Amino acid sequence: MKRLATLALLSAFATSAFAHSRVDSTTPENGAVIAEVPVEIGFNFADDIRLTRVVMTYEDHSAVRLDLGAQTSFGQVFTLPLKAMGSGSYNIEWRGLGKDGHAMQGDFMFSVD
Ligand SMILES: [Cu+2]
């Protein structure tokens, strides 16, 4: 369990180093193990970003594109509804554009026990 948490932390650092604008925090947090599927997921970015694509992969199912709804303008905080698939691991991949036009991307995961 401790090793898993360390791995999640390492991958979070790798993601931030790779991305142009880092994601400050997500809800749930990257690597979190929670009891119930959240109704929505959240992003908190360090700088303004315009989300262009968010994809959820549940376990070994096909990736599903999440509906961005009206949240397609520049901002730092976003929440998106999540479809509950049951217990297991959820991986969220996001893509966006910074104000300077640079493409950014990242991902985080959490598990429902
Ligand atoms: Cu840039």
Instruction: Please count the structural domains in the chain.
Output: 1
- Per the document, the length of the chain is 113
20 alpha carbon to ligand 1 midpoint, in Å? Answer: 6
Domain that holds residue 7: 2-112
pLDDT tens track for 70-112: 888 999 999 999 999 999 999 999 999 998 888 999 999 999 9
Neighbours of ion ligand 1 (CB under 5 A): 20, 98, 100, 102
Q: Any bridge partners for residue 90, and if so which? A: 58, 110
Tokens representing residue 41 in the block: 């997921």
H/E stretch holding 10: helix 2-18
65 alpha carbon to ligand 1 midpoint, in Å? Answer: 25
Q: Is the pTM of this model over 0.95?
A: no
106 alpha carbon to ligand 1 midpoint, in Å? Answer: 15
pLDDT tens track for 28-78: 999 999 999 999 999 999 999 999 999 999 999 999 999 999 888 999 999
DSSP 12-56: HHHHHHHSSS-EEEEESPTTEEESS--SEEEEEEEEEEEEEEEEE
Q: What CATH number is associated with residue 80?
A: 2.60.40.1220
Q: What is the pLDDT of residue 90?
A: 98
